[in-house]
Structure 1
Amino acid sequence: MTATHIVFERVGKSYDSVKGPTKALTGVNFEICEGEVFGIIGRSGAGKSTLLRTINALELPTEGRVTVHGTDPATLPEDALVQLRRKIGMIFQHFNLLSSKTVWDNVALPLRVAGASASDMRERVGKLLNLVGLADKAHAYPAQLSGGQKQRVGIARALVHSPEILLCDEATSALDPETTQSILGLLRDINRQLGLTVVLITHDMAVIRAICDRVLVLDQGEMQEIGEVWSVFGAPQSQASQAMLRSLKQGLPHEVVQQLQPTADTAHSHALIGLRFHDLPAGQGLPLAALQALEVLCRGTELIHGGLDHLQGHSVGQLIIRIPAANLTDAETMRQTAGADTLEILGYVQSH
Structure 2
Amino acid sequence: MAGMPQEILLAEPRGFCAGVDRAIDIVERALAKFGRPIYVRHEIVHNTFVVNDLKSKGAIFIEDLADVPPGATLVFSAHGVSKAVQQEAQARGFHVFDATCPLVTKVHIEVAKLAREGYEFIMIGHKGHPEVEGTMGQLDHGIHLVEDVADVARVQPAQTERLAIVTQTTLSVDDAAEIKEAVKRRFPSIREPKQQDICYATQNRQDAVKLLSPAVDVMIVVGSPTSSNSNRLAELARKLGVQSYMVDSPAELKAEWLAGKERVGLTAGASAPELLVQDVIDRIKALGAVSVRKMDGIVETVKFPLPKGLKL
TM interval, shorter chain, is under 0.3
TM-score under structure 2 length normalisation: 0.28
More helix by share: 2
Greater Rg over alpha carbons, structure: 1
TM-score under structure 1 length normalisation: 0.25
More strand by share: 1
